[in-house]
A and B are shown apart, each in its own frame.
Chain A
Amino acid sequence: MRVLLIDFNPFMVAATPISLGYLGASLKGHGHEIKVLSIGSTTNFSPTAFKGFIREYSPDIVGFGTYQRSIFHINAMASLVKEATPETFIVLGGPQITFLPDDSLSVLPAVDFLCRGEGELITLAVVDAILSGQTELPVPGITSRNPEGGYFTGSPVPPPKNLDEYPSPWLEGVLDPADMDESIMLTSRGCPHVCAFCYTPAAFGRKIRAHSVERVIEEIAFVANRGSGRLWFADPNFSFSETRVVEILEGIARRDLKVDMWIETRADMLNKDLISLMKRAGVNVIAMGLESASENVYTHLKKNLDPDRIRQAVEMAFDSGLDVELFSQYALPHERFEDAMQTLNFVKASGVKIRGNSNAQQMQIYYGSEIAADPAKFGIKPLRDSFQPCMAIGTEFETEWMSKDEIDRIKAAWKIESLDGGKRVVA
């Protein structure tokens, strides 16, 4: 079966489609023909050219990695696919798709399947259903339309406990680092913390599943030797286990791999020795979640992290010659305008350059997070009476503590302080 996997981010330049790479590796391992495309804001194509390509490639399935803010762009793209090859099945996947209401399909006419959970196994189930002609029956892990005008949702597909069961997109040749400026790595999934605004624990579980150290080092060595050596780790908490991260970093250092790494981790997982080892191994940038520097706010986020601890971690990183990025948000629960300014001033005082990922963004409310489940409980006041079924509140809200006007003002305040006009890389 011929499967085309498309990562389409209309808001940023194209990046390594690591998640689709995993799906591709899984499908390839089962003998299917796959092609992975990453399309970004600067990818140049006309709708006419895109349809021409689809007609020529003629895929049986097109899978899209989807986020809420790109969902209608992807629906439009799916429509182009259907215009070009009406018999092609369209699947949407991605962590935010897992939590979409079933009737989202009512506003996504070009979409056939919503993938609920990790796509590596579920996509195989879709392929099986298509091959056996059973697409009008429930498919495990999938929501689809039923012949009665309603929806099926197949039984959940539990992900494997051992992440190494998923074949590597790098080692299997699905993604090729040779021509990439930067390669994204994903060595673990899940997060044990329960930040109210985040859907990661719901999507991937609170127990972290990680690739073995051997697998990680093998992937890093492959990517470093074949590509530019610039690695960007998408793990929510790269250093969740000090033992593991030390083994990985020492493995990199021991093999003398020439890498330039970006990692994201919690400030309370860092210490001087670890930072020093990171530097030796080739980490150049550490990104940490600050969210808010105001006590009025962070205590309500369930992040359990004091800004002083973050300040110390920033200083330690700077002392070791590392660059630091801080993720911050505004319009958080309990946050007044003054609190938001306190966060901006904290970042300025920390010496972190306000650019790229250190540009703050308005909190985004997506299905799967605790806030999305009960916005009123967190003082969220949506700006619309109703939303399309596939749309959570996103950024269309004000709060009990901050009006829309104040949110716009804090956004402008960050933009003025920004060195790059406020272009954030990680959403």
Chain B
Amino acid sequence: MTTFDKAANVLFGAASPETVIVRLYSGTEPEERRDFLAQLSSILPYLNWRAHIYVVHDNPADQIDGSSEVIQIVAQYLAGQKLSTVYVHPCIHMQSSEQSETHEWERLLNLMQPFQREAYDQQSEVRMLILPIIEPESTTSIETILTAAEFFRSRLAKPSFYFHEKSPLDPVTVLQRDLRVYVYPSPDMIAEGTITQLCMNHIFEGILERVEEDRPDLFGHCRRHIIIDEKDTAFFACFSQWEKARPLESFQQLEELPEDVDCVSCISRSCLSMEENLEANAKTEEGRQVHLGLGIALSQKHLHKDAITHARKAFELSTNDADRAVALLHKGLCHLSLRELALADETLREGSTFAIDQGLFSYHRGTVQFARNNYMAAIKRFEEALATESTQVPKDDLLFNLALSYINLEEFSRARSHFALIEQMSAPVHFYHGICDLGEGMVALALNRFNEALNMGPAPDDLSRIHFYRGTCLKELNRYDEAIVELGRAVEADSQDYMNYNLLGFCFYQVKKHEEAIEVFHKAIEINPGSAIDYASIGSNLRELGRLEDAIAMYKMAISIDPTLDFAMENIARLNEIIEKRSAE
């Protein structure tokens, strides 16, 4: 879609409904029917310039008459139009033998003759096409079904068929004869089942269109499909609202969709219910595309479990190894996001068996091992990925992860050698490069790297860590006053990071600002109440302030949490001695 199309959509106002499902009932009084049809007529000018109207009736015996009434309303509307095409899809029950019904069908189709003649003679762009949905009885033979198809097709009324449980038609026949088949997975012949089928097929097709056009709004609402129920003339803004029996108060409300509509769930569920339809219409490839597209979109919304379901479907519908590899790659990454690391690794391993290019799989298997803290295994996978020279692998990311793995093994020089190969420098690259320098005791160099990281405009989440390590470097260089300023910035960037307070407290101690030190150690304890070292540190600052009893209490608190804190034990002994000595004096 281009800007201009978007602009056009905006210029022409709110979305015009493209599909209307009209639900009719038997036994409706003529006057009520008239009122209902008048309501229906009033919305026709607001439909999209190409619109579909489906007519679903609860009683097979009344389907033709009910549909004819709707068609006449549409015909009256179109007679005064210049540019509109309305496709009317009456749902029609078909007996085992079509012979007795053809005159009824003929009667229905005759209603579009004037429009076809007009369109042919005048090349008018006002069209009405009747495209019936035929629902054969389960005993109807394939031959009879195909004869009926030919009957309609020869009258320019391309039919669809609606079957229960399974389509008797071979998908190749469906494709070759350009038919459309709906398969409702239940033997029950109910109008609600038909509406459900129509809606989910429309939703699927809408998503397919968005996937094919590579549109980012896969989960945009589909209120271009509305349902109108003859009972109380109820308008439903979409399938989801119809399922929940939540009608609009008026048609005008369509412009503002209720906030509680869960499009993501409705779209996901509808597309997952399409299995029989896809198979019956030889649309498995389209199904694969939709499921893969939905899987990716769902994982972008962090709905990884749902994404896995769609990725699995995409895998099942794949007909070649390349598609299988893509589906499993995506599924594996979803498991990784959910920290289901064993499943992630197994899925990626399986996916790699289908892939020609192993690079991406090795890379992501490396990230799984990294997440498991198994850095040796991660390095092995990352090295494998590097060796493939795959263009699919983001090389800088690969080198970065490889370096990070080495950092975790404290092999800083190896990490540094990989950082050196990265082309696109970034704040994280400078930062971890600095960690390497710091790890090898090159404090001044590390400080420069952290400065670089800061200059590159790091992500807000990374800011606190960068200030913290700058503070660490300054502390190592005995530049405590500067370290205090830096750590203050770290606290400002992240007031919940316990480490910031801990180090800040240490620096205050070093410059003998014991009151300030005690304050920040208390903050550290607030965040991390189990931190024995911070209690002990408070103790040391109290000691320096001469508050020996208070200091002993803090050291005791520290030991109660961590009995291995020897220096706290020593301090208690030493301070007790001093107190005793003072008492003796």
Q: Does A132 contact B (CB under 8 A)?
A: no
Q: Does A44 contact B (CB under 8 A)?
A: yes
How many Å from the CB of A279 to the closest CB on chain B?
A: 12
Q: Enumerate chain A residues within 8 angstroms of B424, measured Cβ to Cβ.
A: none
Contact across chains for A391 and B8 when beta carbons are under 8 A apart: no
Contact across chains for B49 and A72 when beta carbons are under 8 A apart: no
> How far, in whole Å, are A38 and B6 apart by their CA atoms in the complex?
9
Task: Return the chain B residue nearest A391 by Cβ.
Answer: B123
Q: Enumerate chain B residues within 8 angstroms of A77, measured Cβ to Cβ.
A: 82-83
Contact across chains for A178 and B3 when beta carbons are under 8 A apart: yes
Please judge, given known A-B contacts A16-B2, A44-B48, A176-B3, whether A38 and B8 are in contact too, CB under 8 Å: yes
Q: Does B214 contact A (CB under 8 A)?
A: yes
Interface residues of A in 57-108 (CB under 8 A from B): 71-73, 75-77, 79-80, 83, 107
Q: Enumerate chain B residues within 8 angstroms of A36, measured Cβ to Cβ.
A: 4
| Chain B interfacial residues counted at CB < 8 A | 37
Q: Enumerate chain B residues within 8 angstroms of A39, measured Cβ to Cβ.
A: 4-5, 8
Interface residues of B in 526-559 (CB under 8 A from A): none
Q: Enumerate chain B residues within 8 angstroms of A72, measured Cβ to Cβ.
A: 123-125
Please judge, given known A-B contacts A53-B11, A72-B123, whether A40 and B5 are in contact too, CB under 8 Å: yes
Q: Does B563 contact A (CB under 8 A)?
A: no
Partner of B5, one of A42, A46, A107: A42
How many Å from the CB of B89 to the closest CB on chain A?
A: 19
> How far, in whole Å, are A79 and B175 apart by their CA atoms in the complex?
39
Interface residues of A in 248-299 (CB under 8 A from B): none
Contact across chains for A388 and B123 when beta carbons are under 8 A apart: yes
How many Å from the CB of A153 to the closest CB on chain B?
A: 23
Q: Enumerate chain A residues within 8 angstroms of B46, measured Cβ to Cβ.
A: 46, 48-49
In terms of DSSP, what is the predominant structure of the interface of chain A? mixed
> How far, in whole Å, are A37 and B214 apart by their CA atoms in the complex?
21
Q: Enumerate chain B residues within 8 angstroms of A76, measured Cβ to Cβ.
A: 82-83, 124-126
Q: Does A186 contact B (CB under 8 A)?
A: no
Q: Enumerate chain B residues within 8 angstroms of A37, measured Cβ to Cβ.
A: 4, 7-8, 11
> How far, in whole Å, are A75 and B123 apart by their CA atoms in the complex?
10
Q: Does A383 contact B (CB under 8 A)?
A: no
| Chain A interfacial residues counted at CB < 8 A | 45
Q: Does B224 contact A (CB under 8 A)?
A: yes
Q: Enumerate chain B residues within 8 angstroms of A419, measured Cβ to Cβ.
A: 285
Partner of A50, one of B4, B12, B123, B214: B12
Interface residues of B in 61-116 (CB under 8 A from A): 81-84
> How far, in whole Å, are A107 and B125 apart by their CA atoms in the complex?
13
How many Å from the CB of B278 to the closest CB on chain A?
A: 14
Partner of A180, one of B3, B47, B83, B126: B3
Q: Does B160 contact A (CB under 8 A)?
A: no
Task: Return the chain A residue nearest B16 by Cβ.
Answer: A46
Contact across chains for A46 and B47 when beta carbons are under 8 A apart: yes
Contact across chains for B2 and A38 when beta carbons are under 8 A apart: yes
Interface residues of B in 1-21 (CB under 8 A from A): 1-9, 11-13, 15-16, 18
Q: Enumerate chain B residues within 8 angstroms of A17, measured Cβ to Cβ.
A: 4
> How far, in whole Å, are A79 and B16 apart by their CA atoms in the complex?
20
Contact across chains for B2 and A179 when beta carbons are under 8 A apart: yes
Task: Return the chain A residue nearest B13 by Cβ.
Answer: A49
| Chain B 26-70: CB-based contact to A (< 8 A → 1; otherwise 0) | 000000000000000000011111100000000000000000000
> How far, in whole Å, are A17 and B2 apart by their CA atoms in the complex?
10
> How far, in whole Å, are A14 and B1 apart by their CA atoms in the complex?
6
Contact across chains for A45 and B123 when beta carbons are under 8 A apart: no
Contact across chains for B125 and A14 when beta carbons are under 8 A apart: no
Q: Does B482 contact A (CB under 8 A)?
A: no
Q: Does B389 contact A (CB under 8 A)?
A: no
> How far, in whole Å, are A416 and B212 apart by their CA atoms in the complex?
19
Q: Enumerate chain B residues within 8 angstroms of A416, measured Cβ to Cβ.
A: 175-176
Contact across chains for B16 and A14 when beta carbons are under 8 A apart: no
Q: Enumerate chain B residues within 8 angstroms of A182, measured Cβ to Cβ.
A: 2
Task: Return the chain A residue nearest B48 by Cβ.
Answer: A44
Q: Does A156 contact B (CB under 8 A)?
A: no
Please judge, given known A-B contacts A16-B2, A37-B11, A181-B2, whether A42 and B16 are in contact too, CB under 8 Å: no
Task: Return the chain B residue nearest A77 by Cβ.
Answer: B83
Most A Cβ at <10 Å: residue of B2, B209, B213: B2
How many Å from the CB of A425 to the closest CB on chain B?
A: 11
Interface residues of A in 168-207 (CB under 8 A from B): 176, 178-182
> How far, in whole Å, are A83 and B83 apart by their CA atoms in the complex?
12
Q: Enumerate chain A residues within 8 angstroms of B81, measured Cβ to Cβ.
A: 47
Q: Does A213 contact B (CB under 8 A)?
A: no
Q: Which 9 A-B pairs have the closest CB atoms?
A: A38-B4, A14-B5, A45-B12, A76-B83, A179-B3, A76-B125, A46-B16, A49-B12, A72-B123
Instruction: Give the interface of A toward B (CB within 8 A).
Output: 7, 13-17, 36-50, 52-53, 71-73, 75-77, 79-80, 83, 107, 176, 178-182, 388, 391, 412, 416, 419-420
9 examples of A-B residue contacts, CB within 8 angstroms: A14-B2, A38-B2, A46-B45, A46-B49, A47-B83, A73-B125, A180-B3, A388-B123, A416-B175
